[in-house]
Structure 1
Amino acid sequence: MTPTQPVSLRSPLRWLAMGWADLRRNPLPGLAHGLLLAAFGGLLLWAARDRFWLLAGAFSGFLIVAPILATGLYAVSRAGQNGRRVGLAEVLALWRSGDGRLVRFGLLLGLAGTGWVLTSAGLITLWSPVPIQKPLDFLRHVVLEPRLGLFEAWLLLGGLLAAPVYASTVVALPLLVDTRMPVGAAVAQSWRAVASHPGPTALWAVLIVTLVGLGMLTALLGLVIALPLIGHASWHAYRDLDASAGRRVGA
């Protein structure tokens, strides 16, 4: 297994490079994940095409739930570090395993995502002076509104929800795939890792949001590559962060 390395501000770029190598080495599972998640994003776009006040929250809520959907990619990267190449069958076996820890965590993330969608929709609907129906309406009357207020409140509330979710998942989800650790202990380890390396983990969060944003700007096509890249890179982030936080990887 590839040894872990000390975590620094350069580490997030190294995690991306290693994730890209994983994707190139075994592209089928990653591209399948990317296609399915991009298709789900397209379904969201179609369902809320005339209700952008809802779509804005739905897409940002998608970011909250996405880590649980990438658990199969952690297994692919783990196998690659052990010199094995796994296909879709092994990834599907992980999903069919019915691991109660992953199910419970997924439900919690789903509740968090739903809560943000409702909060975002309520905030935009009640505060905006005009109906927000299309992306241009959101850009003109929320993002580019010269008066301070709605957009800043929307970003602040989203950040207040996303930050603890990110801190709870960045190490915990790969850790649950890699070990039999209980959910509570995995979440505590994830918070410990973030607290130990606030700079690199903050930069990693910015890179994730940037890559997803770029993927969305390409009519969701970029998500086919961006999402598996992030998933594979997240495995390498977990290994370095978990080891630096004082727990032997794989224990």
Structure 2
Amino acid sequence: MTAFHVMAGSGAGLAHPDIRRIGVADVFDALRLGWQDFNAKPSHYVFLCLIYPIAGVVLATWSSGVNMLPLLYPLASGFALLGPVAAIGLYEISRRREIGMDTSWRHVFAVRRSPALASILGLAFMLVVLFVVWLVVAQALYMKLFGDVPATSLSQLAHQVFATEQGWSLFLVGNAVGFVFAVIVLSTVVVSFPLLLERDVGAVAAIETSVRATLANPVPVAVWGLIVAAGLVIGSIPVFVGLAVIMPILGHATWHLYRKMVVVTKGK
């Protein structure tokens, strides 16, 4: 029964929320609303989201070892795969602000009392698995092109990637593979976590709803994906500090994008 609840939610079967068709203007409006949510109490959110730059610096430091250096870029880019999990608390703040409830920082942790916690954890585990698979694929691709002797410095790694034929193959193929991972994650979780916070529909229904929302709004979702990618790049320079602002804004905006695309009504 527990497994079924995780898959199908608290009801007797899969929920199928209705999907709205939106435009690119709605995406930028969601971004504007996300900025307003962040701007309401930025000190709270910057404090809570320091985990992003801290984690980024830790990843960079950890990767500075000889054996892990080639994974520096896959780690930094793959970190975005885990962003939807880390932003769950921000979705909750936006949800509470929308309906006029208290938005104190402690409510970021209210998800632990959510009826859909098991489904949320299931989706989070899926993203962690995708993150690990991405790292394995990236490492395998590097070793196939350069052998099992990794670069010993950032300058040597840069030379390998940008000044050799194998490096350009790594750059092109690696980014193409990364794009596939990004599309999978974007299409399956663009509205999944916000939906589960609002209604315990189960992991399967949340993913199915997210895929339907993507298929119904391919251009707006693609634009959203580009905004997220650009934001992560900008926020990562220098040393990931900007992520303390970029990530919470994107997190809040994700909630508003969900509200624009998904119609949640009782029994559906």
Shared topology, TM-score over 0.5? Answer: yes
Choose 129-138 or 5-14, whichever is displaced more: 129-138
Equivalent-residue separation in structure 2 for 1:134 and 1:11 (angstroms): 45
Match of 2:89 among 50, 72, 94: 72
Match of 1:44 among 55, 59, 66: 59
Q: What does 1:128-143 correspond to in 2, within 5 Å?
A: 128=146, 131-143=150-162
With over 3 angstroms needed to count, the CA separation of the structure-2 counterparts of 1:28 and 1:95, relative to structure 1, is: farther
- SS of the equivalent of 1:17 reads helix
1:128/1:150 contact within 8 Å kept: no
Q: Higher RCO, 1 or 2 (CA under 8 Å, sep at least 6)?
A: 2
Matched, 1:111 2:126: no
- SS of the equivalent of 1:10 reads helix
Equivalent-residue separation in structure 2 for 1:214 and 1:19 (angstroms): 17
Equivalent-residue separation in structure 2 for 1:149 and 1:114 (angstroms): 22
Calculate the TM-score normalised by the size of structure 1.
Answer: 0.88
Aligned twin of 1:32 = 47
Q: Please state how far the C-alpha of 1:166 moved relative to its aligned partner.
A: 1.1
Equivalent-residue separation in structure 1 for 2:28 and 2:153 (angstroms): 35
AA partner of residue 208 (structure 1): V
With over 3 angstroms needed to count, the CA separation of the structure-2 counterparts of 1:18 and 1:192, relative to structure 1, is: same
Q: Please state how far the C-alpha of 1:58 moved relative to its aligned partner.
A: 1.4
Aligned twin of 2:7 = none
Q: Deviations over 1:2-22 (max 9, x none)?
A: xx9962122222111110100
Q: Deviations over 1:81-122 (max 9, x none)?
A: 112232222222323658111111111110110110111122
Choose 164-173 or 130-139, whichever is displaced more: 130-139
- SS of the equivalent of 1:149 reads helix
Aligned twin of 1:174 = 194
What percent identity do the matched residue pairs reach? 25
Q: Please state how far the C-alpha of 1:160 moved relative to its aligned partner.
A: 1.4
Aligned twin of 2:10 = none
Equivalent-residue separation in structure 1 for 2:121 and 2:134 (angstroms): 20
Aligned twin of 1:202 = 222
Matched, 1:191 2:191: no
Equivalent-residue separation in structure 2 for 1:32 and 1:97 (angstroms): 23
Q: Please state how far the C-alpha of 1:144 moved relative to its aligned partner.
A: 5.7
Q: Deviations over 1:139-165 (max 9, x none)?
A: 432256467522111011111122111
2:31/2:249 contact within 8 Å kept: yes
Count matched residues. Answer: 245
1:216/1:222 contact within 8 Å kept: yes
- Gapped runs of 5+ residues in structure 2? 1-18
Q: What does 1:1-251 correspond to in 2, within 5 Å?
A: 7-50=22-65, 51-95=68-112, 99-128=117-146, 131-143=150-162, 145=164, 148-243=168-263, 247-248=264-265
Equivalent-residue separation in structure 2 for 1:176 and 1:200 (angstroms): 22
Equivalent-residue separation in structure 2 for 1:236 and 1:40 (angstroms): 26
With over 3 angstroms needed to count, the CA separation of the structure-2 counterparts of 1:142 and 1:239, relative to structure 1, is: same
User: Rg larger in 1 or in 2?
Assistant: 2
Q: Please state how far the C-alpha of 1:33 moved relative to its aligned partner.
A: 3.4
Q: Please state how far the C-alpha of 1:233 moved relative to its aligned partner.
A: 0.6
AA partner of residue 151 (structure 2): I
With over 3 angstroms needed to count, the CA separation of the structure-2 counterparts of 1:81 and 1:6, relative to structure 1, is: farther
- Gapped runs of 5+ residues in structure 1? none
Choose 35-44 or 47-56, whichever is displaced more: 47-56
